[in-house]
Amino acid sequence: MTLVDVITGVFLFLGCFFIIVAAVGVVRFPDIYSRVHPAGKGDTLGQALILVGLLIYSGMSFIALKIVLIIGFIAIANPTASHAVVRAAYAAGVKPWEKGDKRQ
Amino acid sequence: MSHLVTFILMFGFWIALSGYFDPFHIVSGIVCSLIVTWLSHDLLVPKGTDIKIEAGRVVRFMLYLPWLLKEIFFANLWVAFRVLHPRMPIDPRLIEVKTDIATDLGIVTFAHSVTLTPGTVTIAAGKDGSFLIHAISEQAAATLLNGELARRVKAIEGTDV
Amino acid sequence: MFSVAAVVLILASLLILYRVIKGPRSHDRLLGANMIGTNAVVLLALIGFIFERPHFLDLALVYALINFIATIALLRYREIGGVD
């Protein structure tokens, strides 16, 4: 176990935690608008953390450059996809859940 | 000018993805970048863009990123708490936010930042700087409405809008 | 270490699969499908490291692009109710 291994492990653990939280959130939350919150935030950060772990593990090379490209793309694409989902739901007239309503 | 910027970006992208430096790959990279530049230089840099102003905005955007990363991290802890809490303490609501953001980069940055910061997701973004936002709790809505995010994004746009 | 992370990713995707199957609306399904797709991107990168074949990163990059375009296209289709 070197220092690089330990740091990579920490990043992988944090990333896995946030991805699991996002998955649980998407299953638990009551309607499409609130489900987008864990999907948009949790997934973006979790995946970025795992990729940063890989980045540290691989060191400086063209692999690192490609990982940075993937991180950048995910950070732009994920919130855009969440925004497109809620916009389509809003355009389709889905009512937002409010406190006390039945789960959708 | 738009040709040059597009060509440099495309060729840099080619180098990043290929990773080979022998003459064959370099020459085919230059040819491909030239074709892409010829076809789509006005997509990346639209007509009437002032390169200097845009470059300034990009630099200020880079300086804005560290603050955003910090916010994203706290946003996730915040959402994780609400997801894992047994009673799920959420109280969603829709809010309208009026800002004086005018440029495309500013609108996109604001909408993205709202989605990535605690408890708020952009539903609709208008060209006039009005946003329809879904907030997951009253506190999240109040944090957004106090306008710090809008001020920071406005600072990216700079004075010459 | 990488294998553990890959297994966790697959388990998370299975959880999301419940939401994709259950619905109740097509937006929920699309949201879940997009999340599984982006998880698959990271999974591809991890597989590249597990088997020490960095070329999987290219696949991950291309898959990220395809997944994003697919989600946007499907949502656009849902929004305007058809393709013109």
Query: What's the pLDDT tens digit per position in A24-47?
Result: 888 888 888 888 888 888 888 888
Find chain A residues with C-beta within 8 A of B87's C-beta: none
Residue A94, Cβ density class (10 Å: 0-12 exposed, 13-18 middle, ≥19 buried): middle
Q: What is the pLDDT of residue B160?
A: 62
Q: What is the ipTM of this complex?
A: 0.81
Locate the domains of chain B by residue range.
2-44, 56-157
With H, G, I as helix, E, B as strand and everything else as coil, classify residue C24.
coil
> Residue C82 above 60 pLDDT?
no
The arithmetic mean of pLDDT across residues C29-36, rounded, is 86
Query: What's the pLDDT tens digit per position in B122-137?
Result: 888 777 777 888 887 7
> Residue A17 above 60 pLDDT?
yes
* Residues on chain A bordering chain C, Cβ-to-Cβ distance under 8 angstroms: 5, 8-9, 12, 15-16, 19-20, 22-24, 26-27, 32, 35-36, 39, 43, 47, 50-51, 54, 57-58, 63, 66-67, 69-70, 73-74, 77-78, 80-82, 84-85, 87-89, 91-92, 94, 104
Better-predicted residue by pLDDT, C64 or C78: C64
How would you classify the pairing of strands B93-98 and B120-125? unpaired
pLDDT grade for A100, boundaries at 50, 70 and 90: low
Distance CA B62, CA A72 (A): 13
| Average pLDDT value for chain A | 83
Partner-chain residue, chosen from B79, B111, B123, that has the shortest CB–CB distance to A90: B123
Query: Percentage of chain A with pLDDT > 90?
Result: 0
Q: What is the pLDDT of residue C84?
A: 46
Whether A42 and B76 have beta carbons less than 8 Å apart is answered as: yes
**Contact criterion met (CB < 8 Å) for A66 and C64:** no
- B121 to chain A, closest Cα gap in Å: 7
Locate the domains of chain C by residue range.
2-80
Distance CA B90, CA B83 (A): 9
Whether A33 and A89 have beta carbons less than 8 Å apart is answered as: yes
How would you classify the pairing of strands B120-125 and B130-135? antiparallel
Partner-chain residue, chosen from C30, C38, C54, that has the shortest CB–CB distance to A78: C38
Per DSSP (E only), the strands in B11-158 are: 93-98, 120-125, 130-135
> Residue A55 above 80 pLDDT?
yes
Distance CA B11, CA B59 (A): 21
Q: What is the pLDDT of residue C24?
A: 79
Chains that touch C (3 or more CB pairs under 8 A): A
Q: B65 to each of A38, B70, B152, how far by Cα in Å?
A: 21, 9, 11
Locate the domains of chain A by residue range.
3-91
CA proximity to B64, closest of B3, B21, B119, B117: B117
Distance CA B128, CA B126 (A): 5
Nearest Cα residue in chain B from A28: B83
Nearest Cα residue in chain A from C14: A23
Find chain B residues with C-beta within 8 A of A92's C-beta: none
Residue bearing tokens 């910090």: B70
| Average pLDDT value for chain B | 79
* Residues on chain A bordering chain B, Cβ-to-Cβ distance under 8 angstroms: 17-18, 21-22, 24-25, 28-29, 31, 33-34, 36-38, 40-42, 44-46, 62, 65-66, 69, 76, 79-80, 82-83, 86-87, 90, 96-99
